[in-house]
Amino acid sequence: MRIAISDDALAIACGADKLAEAFAKAAPDAEIVRTSSWGMQWLEPLVDIDGMGFGPATPGDVAAILDGSSDKAIGKIEDHPFIAKQQRLTFARAGKTQPLSLEDYSETGGWAGLKKAHEIGPEATIEMVTESGLRGRGGAGFPAGIKWKTVAGAIADQKYIVCNADEGDSGTFADRMLMEGDPYCLIEGMAIAGHAVGATKGYIYLRSEYPHAVAKMDAAIKASAHLVSPFELEVRVGAGAYVCGEETSLLNSLEGKRGEVRAKPPLPALEGLFGKPTVVNNVLTLAAVPYVLAEGAKAYADYGMGRSRGTMPVQLAGNIKHGGLYEIAFGITLGELVEEIGGGTDSGRPVKAVQVGGPLGAYFPPSMFHLPFDYEAFTEADGLIGHGGIVVFDDTADMLNQAHFAMEFCAVESCGKCTPCRIGAVRGQETLERIRAGGRGAGAFEALPQMHNAKSAERSLEDEVVLLTDLCETMKFGSLCALGGFTPYPVMSALTHWPEDFGIRETEAAE
């Protein structure tokens, strides 16, 4: 009997370690292994006994699970609708292998991509990545092949591959799951990138909130060093700054500096880490590469729609009944993801809003659930896919509060380099507070003699809304990076779709 329980941080947070101990005690003859997570997070800790699943299990369920009388049985895991309908390319090993087992990795097709890259050479490797249509999964959606080609074409004594694993967006956990569940896949992807562009050194910038991922990556790098040599890899741990997920800020942080954003140009591809040509890619981008090389560009590009090719590991989070990792080709609608797959809210109340793409992503109402998951479609709808996280809110959410939080978060996390973000976020909070109060009376502060340019008359709610809209416009187009530039998305989408939460009556909103 093989009993598999995940050692993913989420499973552990839900009690997987204690459960594994209980099984070891109750079934001393069984082989107990710790695998990656299937991604059915509402069922964690999920017990996998020879392919049959039981969850969410507690130590109290152990006896019943072993004697077959448990009501936590979910049947064969691979046939579960949540798993069976997915198209898992990047997460093909999820739930099946032991994360740090080199044996498991090579038996499931590991290193085939790197071997292929060595066979066909750097130029053909970049060609394949370009043809696959793979775009940066961190949020910007920039074609990976073009970035690689730029770095490959640059002449320098040293080049770098930097993996952005600073997954700070709320509602996203795919990077964490990949690093904890299939670390060699990321290592292989980075080694392929290194081979393709002529870089011998790679850094993984990993956030400090992910200690389990840090431990796994460190161990995996050590165990696989001989397989990717002469390419060398190192994990660098962040220190709790959200803005370091922005690529130029990340590079500064890697250099041991404050995580302040750099102006572009120069592009990091030409002058990146320590001023050298650098590929900066997200975990999911790099982890998709081994599949592209092993199975061919066409195999990957056959999935998806429009200019969004391949699959996206979508993360279903927040107040959702069936939360977890759902990897699927681009083109699935938001409604399918939230209602059909996610099963609606966990609280059982109606869905009010979903935020797609983390703290900088727009809020969408159910009336927009027809939107297909596609970079261009979301941009057109004044939103973004970001890193593919979907956070569901039920009807108790107050969208003015959410807009205020977006500004507050931006103010706390702003690196301070550019004015629209640093000051705009603070003014945004204040404006939203005045909107909550329904406007403000004639200002005492503005009546001071030195404030001779300020408008001292009272401001109505409508005046405040105009101010907020104007401020958001300034932040969107005037900020150096996506933190200040995208904070208007959650704010303006909340205002547009739920004006009643801002105290605006419907007739006014329609005007």
Partner 1 sequence: MTTATTTNTQRENPRLDEIIAAHQGREAPLMPILNDVQAEFGCVSEDTKRHIAEALNLTRAEVHGMVSFYHDYHETKATLPILKLCRAEACQSRGSEALAAKAEAMANGRAEIESVYCLGLCSVGPNAMIGGSVHARLDEPALEALIREL
Fill in the amino acid letter for 364.
F
Residue where the block lists tokens 């961190």: 138
**Site track for partner 1 across 59-88, x = CB under 8 A:** ------------------------------
Contacts with partner 1 by CB under 8 A: the residue count is: 62
For residue 316, the minimal CB distance to partner 1 (Å) is 6
Q: Which stretch binds partner 1 (CB under 8 A): 116-124, 137-145, 351-359, 500-508?
A: 351-359
**Site track for partner 1 across 387-426, x = CB under 8 A:** --x-xxxx--x----x--x---x---x-x-----------
Tell me whether residue 212 or residue 422 sits nearer to partner 1 (CB atom): 212
Among 23, 111, 184, 242, contact with partner 1 (rule: CB under 8 A): 242
* Helix, strand, coil distribution of the chain in percent, nearest 5: 50, 15, 35
Kind and range of the H or E run holding 235? strand 232-237
For residue 168, the minimal CB distance to partner 1 (Å) is 6
Among 6, 35, 164, 172, contact with partner 1 (rule: CB under 8 A): 172
Maximum CA pair distance of the chain? 84
Name residues whose C-beta falls within 8 Å of residue 485's C-beta, 6 or more positions apart in sequence. Answer: 421, 475, 476, 477, 479
Question: Is-contact 292 182, C-beta < 8 A?
Answer: no
Backbone angles phi, psi at 351, to 5 degrees: -70, 130
Task: Strand 278-282: give its sheet, edge to edge.
Answer: 232-237, 201-206, 160-165, 278-282
257 binds partner 1 (CB under 8 A): yes
| Burial annotation 41-65 (CB, 10 A radius, 16+ → b, else e) | bbbbbbbbbeeebbbbbebebbeeb
Among 49, 228, 241, 288, contact with partner 1 (rule: CB under 8 A): 241
For the chain, state the CA radius of gyration.
24
**Structural tokens at position 235:** 């994990």
Please give the Cα distance from 357 to 479 (Å, whole number). Answer: 19
359 binds partner 1 (CB under 8 A): yes
Tell me whether residue 115 or residue 236 sits nearer to partner 1 (CB atom): 236
12 binds partner 1 (CB under 8 A): yes
> Restricting to residues 210-239, which ones interact with partner 1 according to CB under 8 A?
210-212, 234, 236-239
Tell me whether residue 90 or residue 132 sits nearer to partner 1 (CB atom): 90
250 binds partner 1 (CB under 8 A): no
Tell me whether residue 290 or residue 318 sits nearer to partner 1 (CB atom): 318
For 60-107, give the secondary structure using H, E and C.
Answer: HHHHHHHHCCCCCEEEEHHHCHHHHCCCCCCCCCCCCCCCCCHHHHHH
CA distances from 244 to 56, 262, 271, 445, 485 (A): 35, 11, 18, 37, 15
**Site track for partner 1 across 321-350, x = CB under 8 A:** --xx---------------------x----
351 bridge partner residues? 394
For residue 239, the minimal CB distance to partner 1 (Å) is 4
Tell me whether residue 39 or residue 485 sits nearer to partner 1 (CB atom): 39
Fill in the DSSP letter of residue 267. Answer: P
For residue 167, the minimal CB distance to partner 1 (Å) is 6
CA distances from 353 to 8, 245, 390, 392 (A): 29, 25, 10, 6
Please give the Cα distance from 76 to 91 (Å, whole number). Answer: 19
**Site track for partner 1 across 14-53, x = CB under 8 A:** x--------------------------xx-x---------
Among 86, 315, 479, 493, contact with partner 1 (rule: CB under 8 A): 315
Among 5, 9, 161, 293, contact with partner 1 (rule: CB under 8 A): 9
For residue 438, the minimal CB distance to partner 1 (Å) is 23
> Restricting to residues 373-392, which ones interact with partner 1 according to CB under 8 A?
389, 391-392
Tell me whether residue 126 or residue 391 sits nearer to partner 1 (CB atom): 391
Question: Is-contact 184 266, C-beta < 8 A?
Answer: no
For residue 77, the minimal CB distance to partner 1 (Å) is 18
Among 88, 137, 147, 176, contact with partner 1 (rule: CB under 8 A): 176
For residue 183, the minimal CB distance to partner 1 (Å) is 15
Among 130, 253, 282, 285, contact with partner 1 (rule: CB under 8 A): 253
449 binds partner 1 (CB under 8 A): no
Tell me whether residue 10 or residue 465 sits nearer to partner 1 (CB atom): 10
For residue 66, the minimal CB distance to partner 1 (Å) is 24
**Structural tokens at position 374:** 């596609």
Pairing mode, strands 363-364 and 439-440: unpaired
CB neighbour class for 217 (10 Å; exposed up to 12, middle 13-18, buried from 19): buried
For residue 172, the minimal CB distance to partner 1 (Å) is 7
Fill in the DSSP letter of residue 170. Answer: T
For partner 1, the binding residues (CB under 8 A) are 9-10, 12-14, 41-42, 44, 167-173, 175-176, 208-212, 234, 236-242, 253-260, 274, 315-320, 323-324, 346, 355, 358-359, 389, 391-394, 397, 402, 405, 409, 413, 415
